[in-house]
Each structure stands twice: as structure tokens, then as C-alpha cells.
Structure 1
């Protein structure tokens, strides 16, 4: 499942055979962009490459990054899980991606503190400390809301409809860092495609290999604002994937729907026929 070593507060994943470097796509401005192609899936097959890509917000992409995503990775669709406020503050560069179709599917109707990063870095850290000094617990409680809240279920249900309608090319989905809302979207897709649980968990934790630069920027900002004391835990809560978040989300799903299969079927309208269609589209 996971490496017990903690590096900078981050739990690290075990390697997944046949999935080198967790599908990392080397881009200048998007450190946490990953192609799910190569993940082991149902019936001994694997997820096809250049079809399913998870990422952080495209606002930070360079011109070269955008061309690489279009030309080398076949990006034809972008799903944005961020709030309206986030999109207004840092919009995706739609004018530079004329041939790409964009879908705005907010998982939250309004800001979810600690998961959206709508303020600047120092504001995020200060706000987290208002929650009884326990930012981990606050974000842990937000994960079930992502999946079970009305907006989240609508967003993830629509996301699957986008994937079912995508007969060719790649769909990229993102939130801010590609950790929480985009990470949960990846988990749901991987489950539907029959990826083994240990590989799903490894892909979730793999974010921690690629977001360290963001965490370092956070600590620098806190130091400049003289709020560095005790901030390491805040940074860990904000920027790193944590198995306690993962467990909280899917414990809630099991309680409400009996498991992920029931959630997909009864919550998102992705039943056995849709799952079979997804596997036909995305496995090889």
C-alpha cells in the first residue's frame, strides 16, 4: 500500500509494476500531471495511454506545456472541478486551447476551506488554524462531502458522462493541485476500470512525490508573513495526500451506499452497462 517512511510529512507510495513513475508527465508549470495509462485493470488489461490524465489547474501551464498536452498527449477535453471563484481568480487558458472542450463541474458550490486554496498561501494557513487547531481533521471531514454532497455527486456523475462520450483523445481533469477533488475523481475512474485497490491507493499517494515544490513555497510564504510557528502540520494537511482522508471518504461511501460499486450505480448512475462501456473505451 504505502511506504512507512515520511519525507517532509508525506506518506509515499509503493511502486506499481508496469506503471513507471506513476505516469508522470514532465511539464514546466504543472508538476502533478499524470497519465493513468499503464495502470493494471480488469481482466488482466491495463488502462490505455493518452486517454485519462489528472492534473493541477492549467493556469500555471507554460505555452510549451499546453502544446505538449495537445500534440503529444492528445488532450481534447478538460474537466475543471474547481469553484466559480477559483475559476474567476485563475481561469484555465481557454483562449490558447481553441480545439479543446471545457467542462466546469464544481465539486463544491462555494469555497471549501483548505481544499480549494482560494486565498493566498498565508491566508490559507491562518484560516486552517481557526478549526480547533486541527487542519487534518477539517480536511478529513471535507472528503466525504466531496463524494456525498449534492454538488459533488452531480459533478462526478457528469464527469463519467463526459468520459462515456469520449470516443478518442484524452480527457484531462483537474482541481487546484490535482490532489483532492481531482484525486477522488481518479479513484472513482480507476475503481470502475477494475484497478486493484493497492494500485489505486498508490496512485492517490503519488501526488506526494510531485507537490513538494508547492509545499516549499507555502513555507516560504509563511516565513515572510511571520506565521511560521507550527506551520509544518498546516502545510502537510494542505498539500499532501493522506490515507486518513482517503479512508474517511470511502468509509462514508460504504456506510451510505454499501461500497464504491453501489455509489457508482445508485449515486452517480454508472451501472454495470456503463462500467462495461468504460472498460471497452479505456482498457487495452
Structure 2
């Protein structure tokens, strides 16, 4: 294949050999293509759909080891892990993206099939698992032991703070309270994740692990991959330079991933607790990421801790140099 000459959106001409290209992907906005070369330099080009299709076909035919397509929060192709997603390709400002095969967010891993484990350790290069769940959750459904992968327990809630919601499903009065106050309960949960001592300790350790990583990718998870995992991901994405829209879009991507689990839970509530299908749907908040839940975390950071920058430095121990180090490690 001949050299590729393209002019980027800033008017700068680039000449690539196929072997020079590390990553080729189409932006979420139609007509934009990003290329990252082997020196981790990013350029954005305005190409129409025909030009993009032709160029992609030629690059694939070249046989060069090019990474096509940014996950951008999309679900990984796994069998039994519905909400396991790579952060690679998410826009981290005007001239950077989160690197591929570096950061993975997920729900619990106890259902992982051999194929799932092979994909995570092989294709995604998984080396570290950070389990954000409580002791009780882990005892009930422990992660599989994966050779060559380090497992670290970093709880973001104590057992009672988490089970306060789950225990309400055991009584009729508790269910009624959840039905009427469920979203408010979730708002309180998010406030605790970022504001309670257990949450702050856990988030601080979470970032210490990310800063200490030397090889492979890091996966963090709770039970559904929605609340604790979502908050940790959102804070990290803000540090890496993602704007508010990108952060929220990635957070809300949980919803289509968990749609099947929500259907299964409605069926369980209907059958076991003899609720009507309409009443069962009132509990959808348990399986939904909602903007107001995440906003509750941002609000408590602003009102109780002096804003995001102060929270990072004073509560999580992330000064400007450590934030810059995270950017160097996880964006390109």
C-alpha cells in the first residue's frame, strides 16, 4: 500500500505509512476521523463517509497491526458480563483521547465464562482487578481467581450503607418505602460514595493503584457496574480531561447494557413478591443510571468539599503533578 497523505482540520498535512498508524477511528460526530500514530500523536481529519470507508478498507488490507474503532464506552464482546466496557477512545479534551486497552469498567465478574476471561486477559491485557464491593457482596459472589491478574479489594461503601437498600426488599413495608423514596435513597447513596469516610478512603486507594500501575490494563467493578463503578469512572474521566457531556454519556451507557437485567428483576419482583408488572416497574431505579444520581455526587463535592479541584487534592491526595501523571499514563 502506498503512503497516505491527509490534511487535518487545522490545515496541517500528514503523510503516513500503514505501519505508522496505531489507531484509526471514526468520531461520534459524522465526517470526522482520528488517527493516532505509533508515536502517540493524534490528528483529526474531515472525511466524508465514502473516503472513510475506502481508507479503512485499504488499511485493513495492508495487514498492519492497526487498532480500528474506539470503544468509547461501548460494551466489550463478552458472553456473561453485560456491563463491561472499555474507556478507550473517549475524548479527553480537544487534542487527546483515553488510550485503548488501559481502563475497563465493569459489573461483577462471578459469571465470567472462559471466553470472557480469555478476552479480558488476552485482547485487553488485564493485569489488575479493583473490587469496589462490600465484604458481604464478595462472600456471596466472589470474583474468579485469574492467574497473572492481581485482585485488590477497595470498598467504597461499608456493608450497612449498601445493604440498607437491599434489606428493604425483605419486607412489605420496606418495599413500599423503596417504591416511594427509591430515587431519593439512590441520591443519598451517591453522596456517601464521594462524601463518607469509607468512600473517600476507597477512592484515594483507587487512584493510588492507577498511579502505581506498570503494565497491562486495570478493571474496576462493583455489582452492576453502575453506581460505585460509575462514580469512580466519572471522577477519573474528569481528571483525564473529558468534558461534562462525555462523562455523562459514558455514565448513562450503563442503561442499555443493563436492560436485560432490569427485565429479569421485574419478572422476579412480579413472581416472588406478587407485585403487578406496573408496580415492579416502579423499582427501575435499581437498574438505571440517572443524571440526577451522578449530579448528587458533584453537588456534595461542591458544597461540602470546596469544589472538584479541592476535593481531588485535599481528600484524594491528587495534587497537580499526580493528575498530570494520570493524563500521561492514560491518554494519548
TM-score range, shorter chain: 0.7 to 0.9
Q: How does 1:62-141 map to 2 (within 5 A)?
A: 62-94=113-145, 97-113=146-162, 123=170, 127-131=174-178, 133-141=180-188
Q: Offset of 1:134 from its aligned partner?
A: 1.5
Contact 1:82 1:106 in 2 (8 A): yes
Contact 2:72 2:90 in 1 (8 A): no
Q: 1:213 to 1:21 in 2, by over 3 A?
A: farther
Which among 206, 209, 233 is matched to residue 253 of structure 2? 206
For 1:7, the equivalent position in structure 2 comes to none
Q: Offset of 1:116 from its aligned partner?
A: 7.4
Q: How does 1:14-33 map to 2 (within 5 A)?
A: 16-17=28-29, 19=70, 22-33=73-84
Which among 253, 260, 282 is matched to residue 308 of structure 2? 260
* SS class of match (1:173): strand
- Unpaired runs of at least 5, structure 2: 1-26, 35-69
For 1:6, the equivalent position in structure 2 comes to none
- CA RMSD, Structure 1 to Structure 2 (Å): 2.2
Q: 1:129 to 1:116 in 2, by over 3 A?
A: closer
Q: Offset of 1:221 from its aligned partner?
A: 0.6
Q: Offset of 1:227 from its aligned partner?
A: 2.2
* SS class of match (1:172): strand
Contact 1:114 1:124 in 2 (8 A): no
The separation in 2 between residues aligned to 1:156 and 1:87, in whole angstroms, is 18
Aligned length: 265
For 2:227, the equivalent position in structure 1 comes to 180
Give the alignment's TM-score, normalised by structure 2.
0.75
Q: Offset of 1:258 from its aligned partner?
A: 2.5
* SS class of match (1:76): strand
The separation in 2 between residues aligned to 1:124 and 1:167, in whole angstroms, is 48
Which among 244, 253, 266 is matched to residue 292 of structure 2? 244
The separation in 2 between residues aligned to 1:191 and 1:65, in whole angstroms, is 29
Bigger Cα displacement from structure 2, 57-66 vs 22-31:
22-31
Bigger Cα displacement from structure 2, 49-58 vs 126-135:
126-135
The separation in 2 between residues aligned to 1:271 and 1:264, in whole angstroms, is 7
Contact 2:72 2:88 in 1 (8 A): no
Contact 1:146 1:181 in 2 (8 A): yes
Q: 1:144 to 1:178 in 2, by over 3 A?
A: same
For 1:48, the equivalent position in structure 2 comes to 99
Point out the structure with max Rg over C-alpha. Answer: 2
Bigger Cα displacement from structure 2, 140-149 vs 220-229:
220-229
Q: Offset of 1:218 from its aligned partner?
A: 0.2
Q: Offset of 1:113 from its aligned partner?
A: 4.5
Contact 2:134 2:157 in 1 (8 A): yes
Bigger Cα displacement from structure 2, 97-106 vs 225-234:
225-234
- Alignment deviations for residues 134-165 of structure 1 (CA, whole Å, 9 cap, x no partner): 11111111111110110000001000000001
For 2:282, the equivalent position in structure 1 comes to 233
User: Which structure is higher in RCO with an 8 Å CA cutoff and minimum separation 6?
Assistant: 1
- Alignment deviations for residues 74-108 of structure 1 (CA, whole Å, 9 cap, x no partner): 000000000000000000001xx021001101111
* SS class of match (1:129): helix
- Unpaired runs of at least 5, structure 1: 1-14
Bigger Cα displacement from structure 2, 159-168 vs 128-137:
128-137
Q: 1:20 to 1:171 in 2, by over 3 A?
A: closer
Give the alignment's TM-score, normalised by structure 1.
0.87
Q: 1:21 to 1:185 in 2, by over 3 A?
A: closer
Contact 1:175 1:181 in 2 (8 A): yes
